[in-house]
Structure 1
Amino acid sequence: MLTILAAVFVFGVLVTVHEFGHFITAKLTGMRVDEFAIGFGPKLYQQKDGDTLYSLRAIPLGGYNKIAGMDPDDPPEPGTFKSKPIPSRMLVILAGALMNFLLPIILFSGIFMLEGRQELVNEPILGTVVDGMAAERAGLRNGDRILTINNKPVATWTEVVTNLRASGTNPVTLTADSQGAVKSYTMTPVYD
């Protein structure tokens, strides 16, 4: 069931982005868009803004734009699809596919930007110091930032783990920033 809902959601996002490409390029090239709809079937919500009716439909598996002048029977009136030059019409037609091409690029570049910030999340700051465990017995507290292990600077949790594993169960000397004061601690790691 969850897989089906996820597929419906992803398909809905793809269709919405695709239709938004047609919509925004039609607006930018001066074409009248009579309706921009997300989904199909009965209308759940609608609002008119200018010449465009925006609607949300009950079945989230589609969507469409009603661009004035795209129907072969429509006359070529000013501001319609047929009244615009061929490059503008081509741009509107191709914009849906272009948006579907750009969507993963934008999403993945956003993920890579977040990974660049991962170092902030990966800072060696103690969250919860467990009662009775090695860090608590050494005197470390929640929020302490580990600066060095055996005089070797550490900047990430990965480095903390690597250094502690290398020491085995031998005592290590840590320096940590504890509420603005740099303190030294001796801790004997425990294999778990």
Structure 2
Amino acid sequence: METVIAFIIIFGSLVFFHELGHFLFAKKAGIMVREFAIGFGPKILAIRKKETLYTIRILPFGGYVRMAGEDFDSVELLPGYRVGVVLNDSDEVEKIYLNREIANPNVLFLETESADLSKELYIEGYDEDGQLVRYNVSREAIIYEKGQETLIAPYDRQFDSKPLGSRAMAIFAGPLFNFILSFFIFLAIGLLNGIPKDEPIIAEVVKDTPAYAAGMEAGDRIKEVDGTVVDKWSQFTGIIQEKPGEKIQVKVERAGELLTMTMTPSTIVDSGQEFGQIGVKYAPEYEKSPLKALQYGATETVNWITRIFELLGMLVTGKFSIDALSGPVGIYKATEEMARFGIFTLMNWAAILSINLGIMNLLPLPALDGGRLLFFLYEAVRGKPVDKQKEGMVHFVGIMLLMVLMVVVTWNDIQRFFF
């Protein structure tokens, strides 16, 4: 139960901040946001505040911000369509009923001749006396259809009406907020738990390993590996991991004396990759400093962004197997493991997941934020946008392919953890 709660809190927070980025920059650009949703599928909770519907939905695998004009959400009143309208004190249409039967004595019925609910904001049609009448439509007019209420979106409030830079920023802001969230999580870890000093001092040497055979002892400070000066433990482990099966020389300082040891790291295979390992353990010491915590937040965020991009590069070149990818099931199991090591390990895991979510969304694939940004780049070069129907079809195909990938990854997770 604790794992379920931790998973929901972590994943829900990552999705919330991602969508919050889209939401805030859309509002800043003057775009109407119709819905801010956490999750997919049927609504569990819905609250309307002004022009935006805030919802929590049953499937906690993502979320979305629905902006006016993005998904062909405008209503087109065709000639001959019978509608009911209600006027305000300024004789502007404030309510439009598309239902056949309307229980409202103030409704005026029209047979539409022409209408524009986006740019010119008017309805023209024949009233019940057969007279042709024309009404201006209020910018806050509401359309009622089958129990649903939809606020009209004047063109200047629609996504496509905004400059290219504003549209691109509204899309890029989602991944950006994931990176910002990661920075603040790492910052919180640094402030509350302290910053690991990362000194290259051995805490323990495991028996029957290359380090043990070479004579390493607890308390040894690593000074050099094959002539490379070592200042940090992370630097030392990075060098060792890159030299599986290669003979190396390690200089250590012991009781003020420099000793040189020769060893060959064992080869460890993880996710199809080979890594070197010599059999030493590290026991970090921590220090608390607000300034260093800020630096830690920034450097950890940049380091993890770099690492994830490197892994993606390995995936593209075939050095990293797709079988090693994880979906919701894998993330859940990993969260379960991280929770066993305490709150700070869980926070670190959340920060890494947030960066991962941001980078995945920036991939130039249809239906993802990166795919949409790619269309914006094409628009900037070409000088005009891609046809909406063609772009929509590309994104639809992308969604289908992503769904297939999700099924494959989830099946791999199930086989890995339950069979």
Shorter-chain TM range is 0.5 to 0.7
State the match for 1:61 in structure 2: 61
CA deviation after TM superposition for structure 1 residue 60, in Å: 2.0
CA deviation after TM superposition for structure 1 residue 12, in Å: 2.3
CA deviation after TM superposition for structure 1 residue 98, in Å: 0.4
**Cα separation, partners in 2 of 1:64 and 1:73, compared to 1, 3 Å:** closer
State the match for 1:105 in structure 2: 183
Pair 1:38 & 2:71 matched: no
Whole-Å Cα distance in 2 between the matches of residues 102 and 82 of structure 1?
Answer: 27
Identical-pair percentage: 47
Structure 1: which amino acid aligns with 2:34? D
Asked whether the 8 Å contact 1:33–1:65 carries over to 2, the reply is yes
Structure 1: which amino acid aligns with 2:161? S
Q: Count residues in correspondence.
A: 116
* 1:1-192 equivalence runs, <5 A: 3=3, 6-71=6-71, 77-115=155-193
5+ residue gaps, structure 2, are 75-117, 120-154, 195-419
SS in structure 1 of the partner of residue 31 of structure 2 = coil
Structure 2: which amino acid aligns with 1:28? K
Whole-Å Cα distance in 2 between the matches of residues 73 and 46 of structure 1?
Answer: 19
SS in structure 2 of the partner of residue 78 of structure 1 = helix
Whole-Å Cα distance in 2 between the matches of residues 94 and 3 of structure 1?
Answer: 31
Structure 2: which amino acid aligns with 1:14? L
Structure 1: which amino acid aligns with 2:10? V
CA deviation after TM superposition for structure 1 residue 112, in Å: 2.1
CA deviation after TM superposition for structure 1 residue 59, in Å: 2.2
5+ residue gaps, structure 1, are 117-192
Whole-Å Cα distance in 1 between the matches of residues 13 and 191 of structure 2?
Answer: 22
Structure 2: which amino acid aligns with 1:106? F
Structure 2: which amino acid aligns with 1:58? I
CA deviation after TM superposition for structure 1 residue 10, in Å: 2.4
Asked whether the 8 Å contact 1:31–1:81 carries over to 2, the reply is yes
**Cα separation, partners in 2 of 1:72 and 1:53, compared to 1, 3 Å:** closer
Superposed CA RMSD in Å reads 2.3
Q: Deviations over 1:15-56 (max 9, x none)?
A: 221111101110111110000011122212111111101111
Asked whether the 8 Å contact 1:8–1:61 carries over to 2, the reply is no
Asked whether the 8 Å contact 1:42–1:57 carries over to 2, the reply is yes
CA deviation after TM superposition for structure 1 residue 113, in Å: 2.5
Whole-Å Cα distance in 2 between the matches of residues 106 and 6 of structure 1?
Answer: 18
State the 4+ residue runs in structure 1 displaced beyond 4 angstroms: 1-5, 72-76
Whole-Å Cα distance in 2 between the matches of residues 62 and 43 of structure 1?
Answer: 14
SS in structure 1 of the partner of residue 156 of structure 2 = coil
